Structure 1
Amino acid sequence: MASTQQRFMRRGITRIFFLKTIAAATNIPTRVELTGTGGTDLSRQVSEVEGWSLENSPIETPDLGSKFATSIPGEDKAANSSLTFYEDLAAETVETLLSKDVTGYVVILRKGDIPASKSMDVFPVRVGSRAPSYSTGTEPAKFKVSFAITDVPTLDAPVPAAATS
């Protein structure tokens, strides 16, 4: 019997956080690190998301016995990754948090903040650049932050349990 797939739109569901540190060697944050004093929820300021995935560069392995060129998996690397934010006329909170050369972690909860869901991706990052997007059109002011992914990301990690009162 086939189960019904529950499809969804990322906007309004997916959450993006920036954490300055994560204590665990696994790079899996605790609830306090994620939503307490350690993390900043950027979701409401993000207008565009690019990258945040791993890519593999296959290695060709042709042989004399076949005209077909086979391949094997090669090195993994992170796609060029960036977040575009809406500018705030009254404050520079995000600009200060994500200034050039700042290191930390971009944490993406793909299916939202659902404790125990194995849908959390954690990317160790360093801010490479932050640049305003200039336009004369009728659109909101934005700026783009480009990130270098500095270590192997932790993918499909469980979202930490909700805080208990």
Structure 2
Amino acid sequence: MAPLPSPKPVEKFSRRGISIFLWLDKLNDQQGLIPTRAELDAGLNLTAAIASISGFTLENQSIETPDMSDDFDSSIPGSDKAEDSSLTFYEDKATNLIEEALAKGKQGHVVILRKGDIPGNKSMDVFPVRVGSLSPAYTTDNEAARFEVKFTITRRPAQSQPVPAVGATAKKVPA
């Protein structure tokens, strides 16, 4: 029997400095949730203002299926659920660009290019969301001013989609 081939080494990376987070108010493709390059380019690039991230994942809620023939409690996959998600931003003293774009009640899409803007790479996730709250964080600690935006994910996100071909650059949030 021939030996198994050696696996290629994994090219590990840190998401910081690579992943890109965009806010898109609207998408033409509401069914598939796949933005065009023009829509990505017109999006608000949130990346440089993000201090922390929570959520933006799907989790399966398994269903227990015990039966009398075995003392093992088996389970089967159940429905998927997206946890509520949030982005914490550094507050900009000069502009309210993010606060206005992500005001309470706004609906839109958080687009995450997990491996950066690499056309054709299947690393784009699109989360349809509604802003649940926008709350400043008050502290006397020696740290930058921040605010948190909490989102509810309104339907199944489109995950691991190909990044559209390159065009113009997205609007950047002032750093």
- 4+ runs deviating over 6 angstroms: none
- Deviations 1:24-80, CA, capped at 9 Å, x for gaps: 131110111001x3x111000111010000011111000000000000111111012
Mapped partners of 1:32, 1:79: distance in 2: 29
| Residue identity in the other structure for 1:30 | T
Asked if residue 44 in structure 1 is aligned to residue 74 in structure 2, the reply is no
Mapped partners of 2:167, 2:16: distance in 1: 24
Mapped partners of 2:9, 2:45: distance in 1: 31
1:101 maps to what in 2?
105
DSSP 3-state at the match of 1:119: strand
Asked if residue 111 in structure 1 is aligned to residue 115 in structure 2, the reply is yes
2:34 maps to what in 1?
28
TM-score of the aligned structures, taking structure 2 as reference length: 0.91
Mapped partners of 1:48, 1:130: distance in 2: 14
Mapped partners of 2:75, 2:85: distance in 1: 27
Asked if residue 54 in structure 1 is aligned to residue 58 in structure 2, the reply is yes
Mapped partners of 1:57, 1:91: distance in 2: 41
Mapped partners of 2:65, 2:32: distance in 1: 34
Mapped partners of 2:115, 2:11: distance in 1: 11
DSSP 3-state at the match of 2:40: helix
* Structure 2: gaps of 5 or more residues: 1-5, 169-175
Per mean C-alpha deviation after superposition, the further-off stretch among 18-27 and 118-127 is: 18-27
Asked if residue 73 in structure 1 is aligned to residue 77 in structure 2, the reply is yes
2:172 maps to what in 1?
none
Instruction: Pick from 156, 161, 165 the counterpart of residue 165 of structure 2.
Output: 161
Instruction: Pick from 82, 86, 90 the counterpart of residue 90 of structure 2.
Output: 86
Shift of 1:138: 0.5
1:16 maps to what in 2?
21
Shift of 1:98: 0.2
Shift of 1:90: 1.1
* Structure 1: gaps of 5 or more residues: none
